[in-house]
């Protein structure tokens, strides 16, 4: 399966790797073009969506280019086991610090304050931290356990309860009755690893035997579409893109939905620009992208990619994105090597939606479906 590209007006000359068919398609598309900002000429949401829809036809599909044999990604079943071990070896996960305090012979008031401080530093959040400390103190008074194994078992269960194992973390596209194609929009600010996560997510679906199309609707960052194509090329996933920086992202998203529907793909993943949460016009663009996609297909999932190391700053991002486009799940990246794992608890409480995926490394298959028990076992470390 080749990499599909959408082309827009006034393109630079084709790269040496482009075929003559690519060049011919690019030349034919010039003059009909895609507007960089339909807001400037239309002024209304309805006409914006209509214009993006009509312009999408200019993003012609190029012939698939020759590429290396697609690699087979790691199966999803083995990922969390490997990632749990990596988390257990990372420095300073807050579970180890809690365990070290709770296994002291005599817990003073100062020790309990240290427990709460540890939770707050891990970004669990004030309300959840207070709740957990109260539960742990009650447990200590009732059981009087001093045995480290018993303390660990009690702490493990309390942490699992805090992370909430009852939330449905299944990706919508993985459900038996999922739409086909099932549409996922990836959102998040610059620097969270959003485009990389989109590529890793495509690998995860390919590993589970699903066909995928990706849409490169981040048209404001020159390298974003190239980056997505690199990810797609390694597993045979086509990417719909514009070759013109600053092209209308809604038209690219529309064309990607068309391609996914025509290909009868299982999943469509649409990458969007890293929005600064204080830029209202850019946030409005996300809503436009969703509306345009929904002219072709329903949007099943909006995944917000957050950098776990940003802590409570990530909560600000989460609130704004939830208001702008609606969020169905969280992807936490860079969770390894951080004491900030408590963000899992605080972001779920804030938005009422689950953490669905976690990234614990730089490898192409270092993305896994989030499992509360494995996560807690990782942050507690080996017994």
Q: Report which of residues 323 and 165 the model is more confident about.
A: 165
The fraction of the chain above a pLDDT of 90, given in percent, is: 30
What pLDDT shows up at residue 57?
Answer: 37
Residue 279 has pLDDT above 70, yes or no: no
What pLDDT shows up at residue 145?
Answer: 61
What pLDDT shows up at residue 56?
Answer: 41
Query: In the numeric block, which tokens belong to residue 154?
Result: 């009690």
pTM for this model (two decimals): 0.77
Model pLDDT for residues 225-248, shown as the tens digit of each residue = 999 999 999 999 999 998 777 788
Q: Report which of residues 31 and 81 the model is more confident about.
A: 81
What pLDDT shows up at residue 307?
Answer: 87
Question: pLDDT band at 140, cuts 50/70/90?
Answer: confident
Model pLDDT for residues 181-232, shown as the tens digit of each residue = 999 999 988 788 899 999 999 999 999 999 999 999 998 887 889 999 999 9
Residue 273 has pLDDT above 90, yes or no: no
Question: pLDDT band at 103, cuts 50/70/90?
Answer: confident
What pLDDT shows up at residue 75?
Answer: 65
Question: pLDDT band at 317, cuts 50/70/90?
Answer: confident
What pLDDT shows up at residue 200?
Answer: 94
The fraction of the chain above a pLDDT of 70, given in percent, is: 72
The rounded mean pLDDT for the chain is: 76
Model pLDDT for residues 116-125, shown as the tens digit of each residue = 998 888 888 8
Model pLDDT for residues 33-48, shown as the tens digit of each residue = 333 333 333 333 343 3
Residue 32 has pLDDT above 50, yes or no: no
What pLDDT shows up at residue 232?
Answer: 92
């Amino acid at each position: 399966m080749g990499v599909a590209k959408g082309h827009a007006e006034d393109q630079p000359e084709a790269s040496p790797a482009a075929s003559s068919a690519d060049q011919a398609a690019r030349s034919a598309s010039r003059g009909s073009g895609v507007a960089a900002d339909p807001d400037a000429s239309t002024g209304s949401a309805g006409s914006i969506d209509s214009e993006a829809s009509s312009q999408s036809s200019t993003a012609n599909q190029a012939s698939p280019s020759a590429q290396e044999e697609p690699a087979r990604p790691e199966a999803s079943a083995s990922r969390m086991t490997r990632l749990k071990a990596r988390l257990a070896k990372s420095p300073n996960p807050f579970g180890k610090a809690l365990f070290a305090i709770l296994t002291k012979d005599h817990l003073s008031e100062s020790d309990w304050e240290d427990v709460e401080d540890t939770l707050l530093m891990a970004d669990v959040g004030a309300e959840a931290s207070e709740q957990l400390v109260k539960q742990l103190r009650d447990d200590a008074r009732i059981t009087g356990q001093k045995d480290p194994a018993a303390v660990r078992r009690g702490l493990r269960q309390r942490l699992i309860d805090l992370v909430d194992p009852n939330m449905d973390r299944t990706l919508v596209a993985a459900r038996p009755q999922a739409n086909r194609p099932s549409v996922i929009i990836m959102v998040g600010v610059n620097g969270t690893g959003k485009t990389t996560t989109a590529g890793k997510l495509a690998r995860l679906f390919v590993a589970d035997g699903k066909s995928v199309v990706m849409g490169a609707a981040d048209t404001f960052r020159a390298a974003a579409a190239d980056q997505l194509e690199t990810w797609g090329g390694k597993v045979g996933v086509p990417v719909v893109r514009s070759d013109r920086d600053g092209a209308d992202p809604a038209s690219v998203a529309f064309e990607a939905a068309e391609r996914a529907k025509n290909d009868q793909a299982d999943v469509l993943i649409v990458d969007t620009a890293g929005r600064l949460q204080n830029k209202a016009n850019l946030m409005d663009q996300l809503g436009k992208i969703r509306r345009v996609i929904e002219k072709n297909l329903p949007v099943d999932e909006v995944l917000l990619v957050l950098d776990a190391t940003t802590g409570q700053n990530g909560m600000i991002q989460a609130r704004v994105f939830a208001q702008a486009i609606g969020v169905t799940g969280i992807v936490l990246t860079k969770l390894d090597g951080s004491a900030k794992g408590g963000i899992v608890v605080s972001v779920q409480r804030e938005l009422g939606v689950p953490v669905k995926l976690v990234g614990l490394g730089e490898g192409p298959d270092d993305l896994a479906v989030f499992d509360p028990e494995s996560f807690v076992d990782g942050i507690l470390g080996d017994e």
